[in-house]
Chains A and B, each alone.
Chain A
Amino acid sequence: MSKDNQVLEEFTSREYEHGWTVDLDSDTAPKGLSEDIVRFISAKKEEPEWLLEWRLKAYRHWKTMKEPKWPNVKYPSINYQDIIYYSAPKQKAQPKNLSEVDPELIKTFEKLGISLTEQKRLTGVAVDAVIDSISVATTFKDKLGELGIIFCSFSEAVREHPELVKKYLGTVVPPNDNYFAALNSAVFSDGSFCYIPKGVRCPMELSTYFRINAANTGQFERTLIIAEDDSYVSYLEGCTAPMRDENQLHAAVVELYAMKSAEIKYSTVQNWYPGDKDGKGGIYNFVTKRGICAGDHSKISWTQVETGAAITWKYPSCILKGDYSNGEFYSVAVTNNFQQADTGTKMIHIGKNTRSRIVSKGISAGKSQNSYRGQVHILKRAENARNFSQCDSLLMGDQCGAHTFPYIDVENKSAHVEHEATTSKIGEDQIFYCLQRGIDEEAAVALIVNGYAKEVLKQLPMEFAVEAQKLLALTLEGSVG
């Protein structure tokens, strides 16, 4: 066996760090999906009639739709009747503050390195913790409240701020947008809600941490962020799941709404369980994320570091409706073993003088398949629109694949669209150079990969950039080709 293969072998035997489960007493819906289940979820959450109707409409539409087959991923067909659509850790009553949250839940998150105790928490980050189907705690609510910022679980928003939810829900990602968005709209159970009032700069990072714990359960969360005129918010989501032999479905929807001169920065560090080295188990991460720059001079910036999940299917996108609005997409997607990723973005230029920038860095190792799929669409009235796209692929070993599918549609002659793409391999020369300076192979790979992904990583808030760097190194430990 050559050394490269040995190294790959070592790497593939590495274990997923967050693969444990916690024995939580759960309140669970029966398996399967029907109108009754939709009603069950809505009733559990004591939702108003309009929301139940909204869900049912989505469900009925979903039934007429077919699972998309165009992504460059392969998986056995999903039996939607074999999934549990609602599972909530049992709590005595709705906790009013952190001291009332089940200590077992708090421990679960502490095990993940996320402290929900505010005084222990890094200053500058507020956290909403979602386990299986529901949000268990949100920190720093009061402090944010003083500025008029609403940061709470989606269910709470439905109860406390129904007018806002009703006004914006589904405006960016309509319930019938696509198969998984329709499914989510029917059965979503919780998620985060965030509202930044006019002229307010949110003083801390807002963060949601998603954890799937229960078996056979799908996670369908929904996030809605609304930024009023001249406001700013930076938001981060993280996720992990236990190691299980069966595949679990995660179909989330994220909607961002930026008004005049508002800016939303949305960062994701995705570390769902990727399956074992033979490709068994892992999360199917089928997510719809979209933001609209509704007002002039608004800005939405997506940054994602995708290291986990058996299959990733997501295209965080920007609708650049306001004049002079600006969309950005920075992505590092790492696939290893039998992981498959089909990810990218859509930049829809509608307003005049709109700009977008796409930087995608794919890293493939093992027997994985990694695809970038991106669309830049310049509409007729988008005078002077500009786009720059950079898509790089890095290959490790000779059994993986990297693919690029750029789609460019230009309907206005004044547009400037640039697309650059490169493919490279980590060279033995680079590794040897590092070795000769005393840097071992694992550290060398980490160094080279982080250098490669630097342009994206530097977009992340400081402390998460460090986390992401470690995660990249961990995911690719020992993997050299």
Chain B
Amino acid sequence: MLKIKNIHARVEDKTILNGINLDVKPGEVHAIMGPNGSGKSTLASVLAGREDFEVTEGSIEFLGKDLLKMSPEDRAREGVFLAFQYPVEIPGVSTVNFMKTALNKIREYRGQDTLDAVSFLTLMKEKIKLVDIDQSLLSRSLNESFSGGEKKRNEIFQMAMLEPKLAILDETDSGLDIDALRIVANGVNKLQTKDNATIIVTHYQRLLDYIVPDYVHVLYNGKIVKSGTKELAMELEEKGYDWIKSEMEVA
């Protein structure tokens, strides 16, 4: 589904990604771990198409198409979803209104009819149940004066509404207490099917207690330096990132 080949990317003059290779198939959950500044969030941003990052080398293929040639909105319409580390506030725009606009733009792109108010509300009710979110939150201004947990839960609700093929969770666990973490993880698990894939970007292993990855990759200095299964995450938690760093220096 997603084939990342030798991606190099930079912000202004600073190179952040230094040759990333990653292959993600439908049904898989990949965890990308790494110390601060290793390039995890940059990778997420490059996949979503944030303009600040310039890809200088390499290619990304998504469902047979050249992802790098697509605008950010077309990537979203093709099925790429990014759960933001810092969800943005939009005063005066409710989540309901936001989602209705988004969903209809996506449907338009795919040549489907836009949803009328009734079908939209029916769909919304279904997804509210699935991700266990307080309905009153959805009519408030998007992310405005939401708690950290509410923001992240709202991201997962949006993911449920848009049913992406590839979901990228960027540090979704940061700022969550253990209960919120469980609820968010539950939502993600319920949304996982054999046809879609998830990339979890995280610093800590704890989210992986709830969402079990098929593969774990360790990012360091803009490169994947180690790949393995969930045991790798446990090892990392135990030994800390210094273990990777010292290994790298030896090599």
Question: Interface residues, chain A, CB within 8 Å of chain B?
Answer: 3, 427-430, 432-441, 443, 447-448, 450-455
Residue of chain A at shortest CB distance from B86: A429
Can you name 7 extra interface pairs (CB under 8 A) apart from A433-B84, A437-B162, A441-B73? A429-B88, A433-B90, A436-B48, A436-B49, A436-B82, A451-B92, A451-B141
With a cutoff of 8 Å between Cβ atoms, the chain A residues found around residue B89 in the complex are 430
B77 lies within 8 A of A438 (CB): yes
With a cutoff of 8 Å between Cβ atoms, the chain A residues found around residue B72 in the complex are 432, 435-436
A439 lies within 8 A of B102 (CB): yes
With a cutoff of 8 Å between Cβ atoms, the chain B residues found around residue A439 in the complex are 73, 101-102, 105
A432-B72, A443-B105, A452-B92 given; A437·B98 CB < 8 A: yes
A451 lies within 8 A of B88 (CB): no
CA A450 – CA B90 in complex, angstroms? 10
Residue of chain A at shortest CB distance from B108: A438
With a cutoff of 8 Å between Cβ atoms, the chain A residues found around residue B87 in the complex are 433
**Does B109 have its Cβ within 8 Å of any Cβ on chain A?**
yes
With a cutoff of 8 Å between Cβ atoms, the chain B residues found around residue A451 in the complex are 90-93, 141
Residue of chain A at shortest CB distance from B105: A438
A448 lies within 8 A of B90 (CB): yes
With a cutoff of 8 Å between Cβ atoms, the chain B residues found around residue A450 in the complex are 92-93
| Majority secondary structure of chain A interface residues (helix, strand, loop or mixed) | helix
* Contact of A435 (CB < 8 Å), options: B76, B90, B106, B141: B76
Subset of 29 A-B contacts with CB under 8 Å: A427-B88, A432-B51, A432-B88, A433-B87, A433-B88, A434-B90, A436-B49, A436-B72, A436-B75, A436-B76, A436-B81, A436-B82, A436-B84, A437-B76, A437-B99, A437-B105, A438-B76, A438-B103, A438-B106, A439-B105, A440-B73, A440-B105, A441-B73, A443-B105, A448-B90, A451-B91, A451-B93, A451-B141, A452-B92
B105 lies within 8 A of A454 (CB): no
A447 lies within 8 A of B98 (CB): yes
With a cutoff of 8 Å between Cβ atoms, the chain A residues found around residue B84 in the complex are 433, 436
* Contact of A438 (CB < 8 Å), options: B51, B92, B93, B102: B102
Contact with A along B54-78 (1 / 0, CB 8 A): 0000000000000000011101110
A437 lies within 8 A of B158 (CB): yes
Distance to closest chain A CB from B50 (angstroms): 6
A3-B51, A438-B77 given; A455·B105 CB < 8 A: no
With a cutoff of 8 Å between Cβ atoms, the chain A residues found around residue B105 in the complex are 437-440, 443
Chain B, interface size category, equals 20 to 34
Residue of chain B at shortest CB distance from A3: B51
Distance to closest chain A CB from B111 (angstroms): 14
With a cutoff of 8 Å between Cβ atoms, the chain A residues found around residue B88 in the complex are 427, 429-430, 432-433
Distance to closest chain B CB from A451 (angstroms): 3
Distance to closest chain B CB from A391 (angstroms): 15
Contact with A along B124-165 (1 / 0, CB 8 A): 000000000000000001000000000000000010001000
CA A304 – CA B99 in complex, angstroms? 29
Residue of chain A at shortest CB distance from B48: A436
Distance to closest chain B CB from A426 (angstroms): 10
CA A450 – CA B142 in complex, angstroms? 13
A437-B158, A439-B105, A440-B73 given; A452·B91 CB < 8 A: yes
Which interface residue of B73, B84, B101 has the most chain A CB atoms within 10 A?
A: B73
Distance to closest chain A CB from B16 (angstroms): 18
A447 lies within 8 A of B101 (CB): yes
B101 lies within 8 A of A435 (CB): no
With a cutoff of 8 Å between Cβ atoms, the chain A residues found around residue B101 in the complex are 439, 443, 447
A435 lies within 8 A of B92 (CB): no
Distance to closest chain A CB from B190 (angstroms): 20
CA A76 – CA B87 in complex, angstroms? 48
